[in-house]
Amino acid sequence: MPCTLNYSCGGPADRETDTLDTFVDSSWYYLRFLDPSNSDEICSRACACNHLPVDIYVGGIEHAIRHLFYARFIAHFLHSEMGLLPRREPFSRFLPVGLVLGQTFRSPTTGQFFPFCEVEKDSSGTIRAKATGEVLVETWEKMSKSKLNGVDPADVVARHGLEVTRVTMLSNFGPHAARRWSEGEILRGVKSWQIRLWKLIGHLIEFSNNPSILWPSPDLVDFLATNEQFVHDHSRIINQVLPFIHGFLRLCKLDL
């Protein structure tokens, strides 16, 4: 840091220049992504005109009330005062994402947190510490290392497979909603559905290769035509694909 004078006593001092919040420092990084080799300015106006605004900004609630505010302020300044940006608003759309909540176990007496592998449920459904038998308080809280309620995605994929993990993450909850992560009923249900889907595909291949079977049947053609719009609606496809498969199985007269 450059040497300067202490305004109080006149003696030598080092000036602290790193005083801005990290959200301020990171409020214009998207401009550098557009023009990373430019050593004369943050971003050339030509690059800004060609690529801005950012299509979608994804972040949590802390971004909505802090980082988004700073980023918009700096963009307004670069547009109004410096003429660098072609528009005031840097982002076309903001998508606030909800928290992923983990199952949390805590001792009511000491406040100590326990990981899932160190707790058990007795015959009455009470959650206890395996080592001591102490009754624990069960809550759903934001995943964090200090609360020992985090989940390693690599472990989930190793146990259940990549596709089951992906479908579980996408099903039942919109990205803006908080969700409780549990490997119980949801994962088992998705895995069961996946197995039925595999069997269905196997039967469809058999049907298509059997010349004695009328394929596709008129009822099946009507069913697919009725549900054509559904398969293109990404916001509904995960939640409604199960009844779609049920209907398909019924028309194929399959019991899987």
Domain assignments of the chain as residue spans, ordered by start: 3-96, 99-150, 152-256
Summarize pLDDT for 51-99 with one digit per residue, the tens: 999 999 988 877 777 888 899 999 999 999 988 899 999 999 998 888 8
Q: Which residue has the higher pLDDT, 109 or 197?
A: 109
Average pLDDT, the chain: 82
Summarize pLDDT for 91-145 with one digit per residue, the tens: 999 988 888 899 999 999 999 999 988 999 988 889 999 999 999 999 999 998 9
Query: 150 near 143, Cβ under 8 Å?
Result: yes
pLDDT of residue 256: 52
Query: 194 near 164, Cβ under 8 Å?
Result: yes
pLDDT surpasses 80 at 254: no
pLDDT surpasses 70 at 1: no
Minimum mean pLDDT range among 29-43, 155-169, 236-250? 236-250
pLDDT of residue 147: 94
All residues at 6 or more sequence positions from 92 whose CB lies less than 8 Å from its CB, including other chains: 53, 54, 55, 56
Give the whole-angstrom CA distance, residue 220 versus residue 254: 13
pLDDT surpasses 70 at 233: no
Give the whole-angstrom CA distance, residue 131 versus residue 105: 14
pLDDT of residue 126: 92
- Residue 215 three-state SS: coil
pLDDT of residue 15: 78
pLDDT of residue 244: 66
pLDDT of residue 220: 65
